[in-house]
Amino acid sequence: MIVGVPKESSPGERRVAVVPAVIPALVKAGCELLVESGAGLAAGHDDDAYAAKQARIVDRAALFAESDVILQVLGPGANPTGASSDLAAYRDGQFVIAHHDPLSEPALVQELAARGVIGLSMEMMPRITRAQSMDSLSSMATIAGYRAVLIAALQLPRLFPMLMTAAGTLKAAKVFIIGVGVAGLQAIATARRLGAVVSAYDVRPAVKEQVESLGAKFVEFDLETGDAEDKGGYAKEQSDEFLQRQQAAMARVIAEQDVVITTAAIPGRKAPILVTEAMVRGMARGSVIVDLAAERGGNCELTRPSEAVDVDGVTVLGPLNLPSEHATHASQMYAKNIVTFLLSLIKDGQLALAQDDEVVQGTLLCRDGEVVQPRIRDLLGLPPIASDPSQPAATDQKEGAD
């Protein structure tokens, strides 16, 4: 089986789907590796490093023409700019495993199906114990949470830690994290390591213990949160009435903060507004908001994706694709996730999709010219494939930034 690793076609994307260190496991499983020349350079891996692990370096055309399986970081749905060139390169019967953003771009899943591609989505990995080592959303959220704190620390006109100096005592910065998923937890840990006084809020009261275990304070509001968590352990979308009450309670806390980092994103939907314009204007000059949900419209009412907005001296940042900024470790983590996933599907040197496998059921988007994932079919207005015994069952999915 020939596995191809192309250079990412999305502008500014520095990650690569496979790093040299994971290639021996694929070779041992009977795979031949093709890597597009220059694919790993931005992540710190040159062509010689791949060749030393028995990968064959080829040009892009040869890679797509020869590969049985394509491993990418961003598939067409997650890469609007390069979608057309990638779609045109895929061929009938080819497996494509990547981030496809299918809940936001279901039409591109239909285009994959039309080309005869067997598409599997890393975002749709079910949240089960066996799939933890394949969970790329958690891997990338870890990096995003870390990076968000560094961005805030550089933007803030004061230091994070308390310092006692001959020139007097410097007070520690106050950092408030909204959303305690993977990104939020990493943001808490990073801000604490830098010496900030950290507090955090999540609609799920069950995460209080995790917050406190990292040395932060869990902020609680007088809100009914009994139905706030889904079966997968992630926050559920809340009603407008709940969000209004939440915002009113949160305004008082935000006014006291130097830094606010928001992480609440829901795949395929607009991010909930948690920080209003009035809250921003109630913060002290020099304060910073880092909105990790900017790609989904933002948790802050004033967020503009990839821009810095000044509001009466308060800076609102909407960074995009933070994992790409730490491409070496992001690629290392993603490569582990995607290769573990691929190896779990290989039987006797060939890729086989076991229909009773919960991981396959969750991640398989399309095959044999047909969109087969129930949630995507529903978004496209397609009827269920009731008569097809291979039709995957619906599984709980997780939030994007968390």
Tokens read off for 286: 């020099």
Name the H helices within 255-372. Answer: 277-281, 327-345, 358-363
- State the Cα–Cα distance between residues 325 and 31, nearest whole angstrom: 30
Output b/e per residue, 194-210; b: 16+ Cβ within 10 A.
bbbbbbbbbbbeebbeb
* DSSP one-letter string for 225-277: -TT-B-TTS-BPP--HHHHHHHHHHHHHHHTT-SEEEE----TTSPPP--B-H
Q: Which of 142, 202, 137, 199 is nearest to 173 (CA)?
A: 199
User: Hey, what are 234's tokens?
Assistant: 């992630």
Active-site positions? 127, 132, 135, 138, 234
Distance CA 257, CA 271 (A): 22
The helix or strand, by DSSP H or E, that contains position 307, with its residue range, turns out to be none
